[in-house]
Amino acid sequence: MDRNTVTGFVLIFAMVIVYQLYFVPAPEPQAAAPTEISDSPQEVESIAEFAQSNNSASDSTYVPKTAFLESDLLKVELTTDGGIPLSAELLDGYLDYWNKQPIRLWNPNSSDMNWIARGEGSYNQNFDLISATSDEVVMKNRGSGPLRTLTYTIDGYLLDVSAEFEDARGEVGFQWQADGAHNEKGIDVERQKSSIYYREQGRGRDYLTEGTDKSQNIEDPVEWVAFKQNYFSAIVGTDLGFTSGLLRSLPPTESSDTSMTMRYGMDVKLPTADLDGREIAELRFYFGPNDANQLKTTGWGEIGRVIDFGWWIFGWINRNLIFPFYALLAQYIGSAGLIVLIMTLCIKTLLSPITWKNYVSSAKMRVLKPDMEELNAKFPDKDDAVERQQATMKLYRDSGVNPLAGCIPQLIQMPLLYAMFRFFPANIELRGKSFLWADDLGAYDSILDLPFEIPFYGAHVSGFTLLMAGSMFFYMGQTMSQQAAPTQPGMPDMRIMAKIMPLFMLFFFNKFASGLSLYYFMANLVTIGQVGVVKRFFIDEDKIREKIKAKQETPKPEKKKGGLPKGSRPCKKSSKSALMK
């Protein structure tokens, strides 16, 4: 191994480290999360200060009450102290990994929500409970402030609120701060997948960089804002659009048990209603799973893209091909692991022509290996690089071999391979589903818990990742064992890289969803089987060698200076050309 090859390996390892540090960041140690958020780009006010200043006129004997709204999918707790939702609990069988309790989307002890009406006069946000049933709660403000009544209704995962204001002069803000609850097996990945997603009207979905401290001032109307975690989201939206505001996501302290602190402050449009000049603000909340079918019930544009299936062609493939295919199989097969295996077989069968082309190209390159070694011996010095390159290209040309023929099939299948890389960690259908020793295909599996943590690896050993890396090592050894050495000094030896790459994958995939490692493991096994069958029954390297030798020995027509081969005759002019002459 020469110096340039070693340098190449060092650079590859450095790229992996940079990716881990900057694109998959660990939570940054911070002090206690600050309590100030902005209710508009121009104003910053502490939630605590806001509540204190606007409750100054409240009755000291006032005792807040709670009410519950419940559907078959969701249970929401409301309080008359501010008239806000305290908590949202999912009832449709979704449980947190650690305590096996119904999913809660945020920690009620460190979260808050407020309406801010900037009309004249002081007021308080204490409410009386006017009526309360399982599907509707009505509250009335005890004071004289602009916010008069709040009416909540529930349907599935949706919570609708109608807020009536009086003399608010259209100046109403809405604030929300939430600490995401820790519901998944791996909190590192859960934090990496948590952020704020939003959609400005007339534009596409956008988001703050996941897992990092980011903020964004909003100037155009916003249709919806999502506190998105890996598999669940708390979303608020309005058909009229929020006019302006500030969004911010904050990684929590390492010792905390929260996935992400998310802050949101927006101005609300208020159309005038025919209710004695009162103004109405109507918001819709979605508290539920990142499930494409359920998200559609909100009626918001591009809301399904809260599920991060990838960008550009990769996301299109997942949303329109892979996910519908998975859903179809799930209707008939109860085991998520078996569905992954069937999908693997179907996808590899679809890609089998590419596997065929790739292997045929590899077989031709192996046949040329002795000739390549002769060229390397003939031109051993760096000064002979140009002559060696010309001789190599002549060898390819005379043999009818395209050195890029093996690369093109790989490039063709890359969009699908990367799409699968994004599909499995984002598919909520895998969450909580067990297979073999993996208790959750949506999180990492562990066959051995370590008493210490290995940097960039973790404190556990993933069984499916081990199998994936082992099968990758075997497959790459199978395909690279007879590959020729690099023809030019300084070029990396792919045979050595094939041995090191599985080690990188072992570190890279250890914390990923076990369903993804299971897919790649099965894909490698199928590919190894395909290559073995093709080599044994369909490809005869001796015949390929005979064809290449015959092509090499076939005399090539010589070209004259004018560009026509020697001995060839020019085309006769047509009679029409002769007459014109």
Bridge partners, 353 (sequence order):
none
Judged against a pLDDT cut of 60, whether residue 565 lies above it is answered with: no
Least confident of 50-64, 168-182, 260-274: 50-64
**Which one is predicted more confidently, 48 or 239?**
239
Q: How far apart are CA 291 and CA 442, in angstroms?
A: 14
**Which one is predicted more confidently, 147 or 357?**
147
Which two tokens mark 436? 């073999």
Instruction: Give the pLDDT of residue 235.
Output: 93
Instruction: Give the pLDDT of residue 124.
Output: 53
Judged against a pLDDT cut of 50, whether residue 3 lies above it is answered with: no
User: Helix %, strand %, coil % for the chain, to 5?
Assistant: 40, 25, 35
**Nearest to 114, CA basis, from 99, 125, 103:** 125
pLDDT band at residue 19 using 50, 70 and 90 as cut-offs: very low
* Mean pLDDT (the chain, rounded): 77
Task: Map residue 371 onto helix, strand or coil.
Answer: helix
Q: How far apart are CA 57 and CA 73, in angstroms?
A: 38
**Which one is predicted more confidently, 247 or 125?**
247
Judged against a pLDDT cut of 90, whether residue 55 lies above it is answered with: no
Judged against a pLDDT cut of 70, whether residue 243 lies above it is answered with: yes
C-alpha dist (Å) from residue 521 to 325, 339, 525, 528: 20, 14, 6, 11
Instruction: Give the pLDDT of residue 75.
Output: 95
DSSP label at residue 287:
E
**Which one is predicted more confidently, 421 or 202?**
421
Helix (H) or strand (E) holding 175: strand 172-181
Instruction: Give the pLDDT of residue 102.
Output: 92
Instruction: Give the pLDDT of residue 150.
Output: 93
Q: How far apart are CA 95 and CA 90, in angstroms?
A: 8
Instruction: Give the pLDDT of residue 57.
Output: 44
Q: What backbone torsions phi and psi does residue 562 show, to the nearest 5 degrees?
A: -75, -10
Q: Which residue is it, tokens 């009505």?
A: 138
Instruction: Give the pLDDT of residue 416.
Output: 82
C-alpha dist (Å) from residue 524 to 230, 259, 345, 470, 471: 27, 34, 11, 10, 6
Which two tokens mark 470? 């082992």
Q: How far apart are CA 5 and CA 132, in angstroms?
A: 72
User: Does the domain formed by 37-306 have CATH 2.70.98.90?
Assistant: yes
Q: How far apart are CA 33 and CA 31, in angstroms?
A: 6
Domain ranges of the chain: 37-306, 324-553
* CB-based contact 175:125 (threshold 8 Å): no
C-alpha dist (Å) from residue 78 to 55, 103, 136, 252, 260: 18, 17, 11, 26, 23
Q: How far apart are CA 375 and CA 514, in angstroms?
A: 46
> What's the burial of 119, exposed, middle or buried (CB within 10 Å: 0-12/13-18/19+)?
middle
Helix (H) or strand (E) holding 44: strand 43-46
**Nearest to 243, CA basis, from 293, 171, 191:** 171
Instruction: Give the pLDDT of residue 38.
Output: 38
Judged against a pLDDT cut of 80, whether residue 321 lies above it is answered with: yes
Q: Which residue is it, tokens 């179907």?
A: 346
**Nearest to 129, CA basis, from 53, 77, 181, 196:** 77
Instruction: Give the pLDDT of residue 9.
Output: 45
DSSP label at residue 303:
G
Neighbours of 281 (CB within 10 A): 22
Average pLDDT of the segment spanning 201-210 = 82
Angle between helices 514-533 and 463-480 (to 10 degrees): 30
Instruction: Give the pLDDT of residue 578.
Output: 45
Judged against a pLDDT cut of 80, whether residue 33 lies above it is answered with: no
Instruction: Give the pLDDT of residue 10.
Output: 47
Q: How far apart are CA 275 and CA 255, in angstroms?
A: 51
Share of the chain above pLDDT 90, in %: 23
Which two tokens mark 234? 């708390």
**Which one is predicted more confidently, 490 or 94?**
94
Answer left, alpha or beta for residue 417, where phi above 0 means left and psi between -120 and 50 means alpha.
Answer: alpha
Judged against a pLDDT cut of 80, whether residue 549 lies above it is answered with: no
Instruction: Give the pLDDT of residue 99.
Output: 87
Q: How far apart are CA 297 and CA 307, in angstroms?
A: 15
Instruction: Give the pLDDT of residue 406.
Output: 59
Average pLDDT of the segment spanning 134-140 = 93
Answer left, alpha or beta for residue 47, where phi above 0 means left and psi between -120 and 50 means alpha.
Answer: alpha
Q: What backbone torsions phi and psi does residue 88 show, to the nearest 5 degrees?
A: -135, 125
DSSP letters, 131-167, are: EE-SSEEEEEESSSSSEEEEEEEEETTEEEEEEEESS
Helix (H) or strand (E) holding 174: strand 172-181
Q: How far apart are CA 160 and CA 287, in angstroms?
A: 11
> What's the burial of 542, exposed, middle or buried (CB within 10 Å: 0-12/13-18/19+)?
exposed
Neighbours of 340 (CB within 10 A): 23
